[in-house]
């Protein structure tokens, strides 16, 4: 090797690049996976309608319940609407309630995010029932006791929650309660998948559905499922329809895709930035390789001429420069693999990162090796064009 | 001499414009990326209220379940908020210079104009001290007086934006505004005020904007105002009324800040907190060990890990990116300089000292560094716009500090990258290259 320093410069550059891009792409894959998780909601056809009353009459529970029933009937009758239910929070919004629950026969408490829903929720959401049954009318006819709470309810849970609380797979028919015996809910159905309103995994997927009357005097939320393609048409008429029913309230409408966009905005932004950084890194490094190979060719022009004059073929010259390139990137990649592990460890400690996937590391090595060859090719081909007579010229 | 060297450097750069563009562009790219992400990290991690942050304290006491810690991952941490009754109890102390319990809630505003429909605005319920404690700038009027707290008087403070939405860009102090079912008097309109991070409430979105309206805390009970922020509870709360669930329960949903100006005041307040806890223990509450905390703004932001992890990751990666760019620079400079060996040989033979050859090449590197820095800073303005658009934030500006950091990084990178190539070229023995001429 002609110039040791130059050799190690490229090798180090390749090494650093490998370390960085493998970590970047690892994070991208992690973020993408989170983004692409199925939500269980019929996303394209769902609208969330929040009504926030300002009249005092909403303090009366009977008035509220009648209002809710009438609103739901009106929403269902809108052209283009398939179904409508009331529920307690908007999924993928970041805001909602969780409650502490223990599985029957266990004393490990788990935070369980939940939706309170009215009848017909599974159909309106669009998720799949994988075991048990949907809610039926009787599930909603539960009464609060004299202390003001409902001690026994039939509930539906997501498969992820069922598996978390009953790892043996026998969740159906079992109860989960508050641990003190005040509340014990029986699992009558299991759906899969069903995300809730929290981003982090796995708690964002361990969801409980409670039959009941969601909403209070300050806010009520409806979920409207529309026929395919008529989401915006239904949305445009909604406010007017509800205000015509009762106008002492503020109506806001949000399609689920919009909610989801907001929810994953940072996630998407980060994916783009990381991909840009990766592309730029590879670009900068390949420019570096082009530059250095070029100089190495220029510097050795006479030497190449001499070798050609002594009978080396163009192929020999090409092979010589490519081999040199492989050797350099090879050393760089070996070093880079170690660096990638070290950087991953540092990032995991100091901030956030995805755990290093070794398949990704291998893929990154192939990518950079290929990039190295492509980058070295043009200068190396230039070297083959050096004519043998050059060796004799300046002597 | 330096001027001459700079002129030589420019001549050398002009000789091969493509290569020079590559060199300068490489530095610019490295500077732009690293400065942008360092700048974003700095914006997220900055102290939002530097003048008084070390005198403002977030109050925490451990009223959580005797059986389990509030946060099972950090069992030594007390709950992040207070129960309503504890907030009430702590507001009794006269030790702090300023003190305010607070929470946020959505309220409906009814504009006077018939053609504007009522709208909801995020409202902070707080005490009179909130405004002087956080040094809040007012456009018109001021906060309400302490005596208004006790009433509570029907007074509100509006943010500038809410005022514009309700009335337009006019002084509305003394005018009345309908909130929910009642009329309130506007006593002050704030200047646009958006502390970032929103240090006084990092529990409900540390980078959300400030509230649009402020009203006296003591309306909570008569109006039964519920929080729009987080509530955490333990055990089983019976009852359904507002009083049972919110005011008398063990639900934690109130935040509290106090201003303590010196160590003595702080000690006295801690003694008060401990005495209060002791009193509650005697009543059969707070069975957990003493765990009262007073944290100033920076400590509190630190504990809550307000800076998103990905911002730190990106800052680290972006600096490494600059390192790779510097490596690139070394390689290309080495080639460029060595290709010039014959010329340097002649200069050396004509009497140029090693030192002057070395200096000449370092100056050339610095020229590249400075040009790259300038271009990179311009590029980072564009990058920041792009990043703002991606994250849906706005107005991320390049701070003067970051311009300085960018300059230093460029100079350092150009120096580190230039030393070896310059050293190599100044060691050229004149004779070997003269022979070839």
- Classify each residue of B252-266 as buried b or exposed e, where b means 16 or more C-beta atoms within 10 Å of its C-beta: bbbbbbbbbeeeebb
Note the pLDDT tens digit of each residue in A217-242: 888 999 999 999 899 999 998 999 99
Distance of CA B373 to the CA centre of its chain: 25
Tell me the pLDDT of chain B (437 aa) as tens digits: 678 888 888 888 788 788 888 889 989 999 999 999 998 888 888 888 888 999 999 999 988 888 778 877 788 889 999 999 999 999 999 999 999 999 999 999 998 877 788 899 999 999 999 999 999 999 999 999 999 998 899 999 999 999 999 999 999 999 999 998 899 999 999 999 988 889 999 887 778 888 999 999 999 999 989 888 888 887 666 667 888 888 888 889 999 999 999 999 999 999 999 999 999 999 888 888 888 999 999 999 988 888 888 888 888 889 999 998 888 888 888 878 877 888 888 888 888 888 888 988 899 999 999 999 999 999 999 999 988 888 877 777 888 888 999 999 999 999 988 888 888 888 877 776 666 54
CB contact under 8 A, B420 and A148: no
Q: Which of A6, A185, A351 to mutate to test the interface with B (most CBs of B within 10 A)?
A: A351
- Report chain A's mean pLDDT, rounded to a whole number: 88
CB contact under 8 A, B313 and A218: no
**CA distance, residue A56 to nearest chain B CA (Å):** 8
- What is the residue-wise DSSP string for A264-295? THHHHHHHHHHHHHHHHHHHHHHHHHHHHHHH
For residue B286, count CB atoms less than 10 angstroms from its CB and return exposed for 0-12, middle for 13-18, buried for 19 or more.
buried
* Cα-Cα-Cα-Cα dihedral sign, residues B391, A221, B182, B117: positive
CB contact under 8 A, B22 and A9: no
- Cα-trace Rg, chain A: 32
pLDDT value for B236: 65
Q: Using CA atoms, how far apart are residues B142 and B261, in angstroms rounded to an integer?
A: 23
**E strand residue ranges, B152-223:** 155-158, 176-179, 182-190, 213-216
> Which pair of structure tokens corresponds to residue B213?
């309206």
pLDDT value for A3: 66
Lowest-pLDDT choice from A129-138, A361-370, B323-332, B361-370: B323-332
Contact A248, A154 (CB under 8 A): no
Smallest Cβ distance to A269: which of B181, B327, B391? B391
Q: Using CA atoms, how far apart are residues B241 and B253, in angstroms rounded to an integer?
A: 16
pLDDT value for A1: 40
pLDDT mean over A27-43: 89
Which chain A residues are closer than 8 Å to B341 by Cβ? none
β-sheet bridge partners, residue B140: B189
| 3-class DSSP assignment, residue A141 | coil
Q: Using CA atoms, how far apart are residues A339 and A23, in angstroms rounded to an integer?
A: 10
Which chain B residues are closer than 8 Å to A353 by Cβ? 313
What does DSSP assign to residue A147? T
Search chain B and give the residue with CA nearest A287. Answer: B328
Q: Using CA atoms, how far apart are residues A371 and A178, in angstroms rounded to an integer?
A: 59
Using the structure block, give the residue that is written with the tokens 């504009």: B111
Which chain A residues are closer than 8 Å to B320 by Cβ? 16, 19-20, 343
> Which pair of structure tokens corresponds to residue A296?
């190495």
> Strand A128-132 and strand B82-83: pairing?
unpaired
β-sheet bridge partners, residue B108: B120
Note the pLDDT tens digit of each residue in B60-94: 998 888 877 887 778 888 999 999 999 999 999 99
Q: Using CA atoms, how far apart are residues A115 and A95, in angstroms rounded to an integer?
A: 11
- What is the residue-wise DSSP string for B309-368? HHHHHHHHHHHHHHHHHHHHHHHHHHHHHHTTHHHHHHHHHTT--HHHHHHHHHHHHHHH
> Which pair of structure tokens corresponds to residue A52?
């926030």
Q: Using CA atoms, how far apart are residues B17 and B40, in angstroms rounded to an integer?
A: 34
CB contact under 8 A, A273 and B239: no
B432 touches chain A (CB under 8 A): no
A12 touches chain B (CB under 8 A): yes
| 3-class DSSP assignment, residue B234 | coil
Note the pLDDT tens digit of each residue in A259-295: 998 888 888 888 998 999 899 999 988 888 888 788 7
pLDDT value for B437: 47
Q: Using CA atoms, how far apart are residues A122 and A156, in angstroms rounded to an integer?
A: 10
pLDDT mean over A86-108: 86
Which chain B residues are closer than 8 Å to A284 by Cβ? 26, 29, 324-325, 328
Confidence check: pLDDT of A145 > 80: no
Predicted structure pTM score = 0.81
Contact B77, B71 (CB under 8 A): yes
* Cα-Cα-Cα-Cα dihedral sign, residues B388, B393, B396, B402: negative
CB contact under 8 A, A352 and B339: no
Among residues A98, A101, A103, which one has the least CA distance to residue A114? A98
CB contact under 8 A, A352 and B420: no
A298 touches chain B (CB under 8 A): yes
Contact A17, A335 (CB under 8 A): no
Higher-scoring residue by pLDDT: B11, A393: B11
Q: Using CA atoms, how far apart are residues B437 and B427, in angstroms rounded to an integer?
A: 19
Q: Using CA atoms, how far apart are residues B359 and B2, in angstroms rounded to an integer?
A: 9
Q: How far is CA B194 from CA A364, B134, B208, B392, in A?
A: 43, 12, 9, 16
State what percent of residues in chain A have pLDDT above 70.
Answer: 97
Distance of CA B147 to the CA centre of its chain: 34
Among residues B209, B261, B340, B206, which one has the least CA distance to residue B54? B261
Q: Using CA atoms, how far apart are residues B179 and B389, in angstroms rounded to an integer?
A: 35
């Amino acid at each position: 090797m002609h110039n040791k320093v130059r050799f190690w410069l490229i090798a180090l550059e390749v090494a650093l690049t490998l370390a960085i891009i493998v970590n970047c792409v690892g994070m991208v894959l992690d973020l993408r996976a989170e983004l692409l998780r199925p939500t269980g909601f019929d996303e394209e056809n769902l609208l969330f309608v929040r009504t926030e009353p300002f009249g005092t009459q909403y303090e009366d529970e009977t008035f509220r319940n009648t209002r809710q029933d009438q609103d739901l009937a009106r929403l269902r009758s809108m052209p283009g609407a398939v179904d409508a239910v009331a529920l307690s929070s908007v999924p993928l919004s970041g805001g909602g309630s969780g409650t502490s629950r223990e599985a029957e026969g266990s004393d490990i408490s788990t935070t369980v995010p939940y939706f309170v829903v009215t009848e017909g929720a599974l159909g309106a959401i669009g998720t799949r029932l994988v075991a048990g049954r949907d809610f039926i009318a009787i599930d909603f006819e539960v009464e609060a006791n004299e202390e003001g709470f409902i001690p026994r309810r039939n509930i539906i849970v997501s498969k992820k929650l069922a598996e978390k609380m009953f790892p043996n797979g026998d969740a159906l028919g079992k109860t989960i309660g508050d641990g003190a015996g005040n509340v014990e809910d029986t699992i009558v159905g299991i759906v899969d998948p069903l995300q809730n309103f929290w981003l982090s995994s796995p708690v964002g997927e361990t969801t409980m559905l409670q039959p009941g009357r969601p909403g209070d005097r300050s806010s009520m939320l409806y979920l409207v499922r529309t026929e395919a393609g008529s989401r915006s048409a239904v949305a445009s008429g909604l406010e007017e329809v509800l205000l015509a029913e009762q106008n002492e309230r503020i109506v806001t409408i949000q399609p689920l895709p919009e909610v989801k966009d907001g929810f994953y905005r940072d996630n998407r932004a980060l994916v783009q930035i990381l991909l840009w950084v990766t592309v730029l890194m590879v670009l900068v490094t390949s420019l570096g390789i082009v530059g250095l190979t070029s100089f190495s060719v220029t510097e050795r022009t006479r030497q190449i001429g001499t070798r050609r004059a002594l009978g080396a073929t163009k192929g020999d010259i090409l092979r010589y420069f490519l081999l040199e390139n492989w050797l350099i990137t090879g050393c760089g990649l070996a070093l880079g693999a170690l660096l990638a592990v070290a950087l991953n460890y540092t990032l995991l400690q100091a901030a956030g990162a995805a755990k290093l996937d070794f398949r990704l590391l291998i893929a990154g090595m192939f990518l950079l090796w290929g990039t190295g060859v492509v980058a070295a090719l043009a200068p190396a081909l230039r070297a083959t064009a050096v004519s043998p007579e050059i060796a004799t010229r300046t002597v | 001499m330096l001027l001459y060297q700079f002129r030589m450097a420019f001549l050398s750069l002009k000789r091969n414009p493509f290569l020079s563009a590559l060199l300068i562009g490489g530095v610019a790219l490295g500077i732009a990326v690293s400065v942008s992400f360092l700048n974003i990290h700095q914006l997220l991690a900055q102290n939002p209220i530097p003048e008084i942050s070390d005198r403002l304290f977030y109050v925490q006491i451990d009223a959580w379940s005797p059986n389990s810690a509030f946060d099972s991952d950090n069992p030594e941490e007390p709950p992040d908020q207070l129960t309503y009754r504890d907030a009430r109890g702590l507001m009794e102390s006269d030790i702090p210079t300023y003190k305010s319990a607070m929470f946020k809630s959505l309220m409906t505003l009814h504009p006077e104009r018939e053609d504007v429909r009522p709208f909801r605005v995020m409202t902070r319920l707080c005490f009179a001290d909130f405004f002087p404690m956080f040094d809040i700038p007012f456009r018109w009027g001021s906060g309400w007086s302490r005596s208004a707290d006790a009433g509570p008087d029907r007074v509100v403070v509006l943010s500038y934006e809410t005022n514009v939405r309700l009335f337009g860009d006019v002084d509305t102090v003394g005018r009345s505004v309908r909130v929910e079912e009642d009329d309130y008097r506007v006593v002050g309109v704030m200047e646009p005020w958006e502390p970032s991070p929103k240090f006084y409430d990092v529990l409900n979105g540390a980078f959300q904007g400030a509230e649009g309206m402020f009203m006296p805390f003591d309306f909570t009970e008569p109006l039964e105002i519920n929080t729009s922020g987080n509530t955490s509870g333990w055990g089983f709360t019976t009852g359904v009324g507002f009083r049972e669930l919110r005011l008398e329960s063990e639900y934690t949903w109130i935040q509290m800040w106090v201003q303590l100006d010196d160590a003595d005041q702080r000690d006295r307040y801690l003694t008060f907190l401990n005495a209060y806890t002791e009193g509650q223990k005697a009543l059969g509450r707070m069975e957990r060990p003493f765990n009262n905390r007073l944290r100033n703004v920076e400590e509190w932001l630190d504990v809550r890990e307000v800076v998103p992890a990905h911002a730190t990751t990106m800052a680290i990666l972006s600096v490494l990116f600059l390192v790779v760019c510097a490596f690139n620079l070394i390689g290309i400079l080495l080639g460029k300089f060595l290709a010039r060996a014959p010329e340097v040989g002649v200069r050396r033979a004509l009497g140029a000292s090693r030192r002057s050859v070395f200096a000449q090449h370092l100056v050339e590197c610095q020229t590249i560094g400075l040009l790259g820095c300038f271009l990179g800073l311009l590029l980072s303005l564009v990058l920041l716009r792009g990043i703002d658009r991606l994250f849906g934030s706005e107005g991320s500006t390049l701070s003067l500090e970051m311009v300085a950091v960018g300059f230093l990084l460029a100079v350092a990178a150009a120096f580190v990258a230039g030393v070896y190539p310059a050293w190599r070229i100044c060691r050229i023995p004149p004779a070997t290259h003269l022979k070839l001429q």
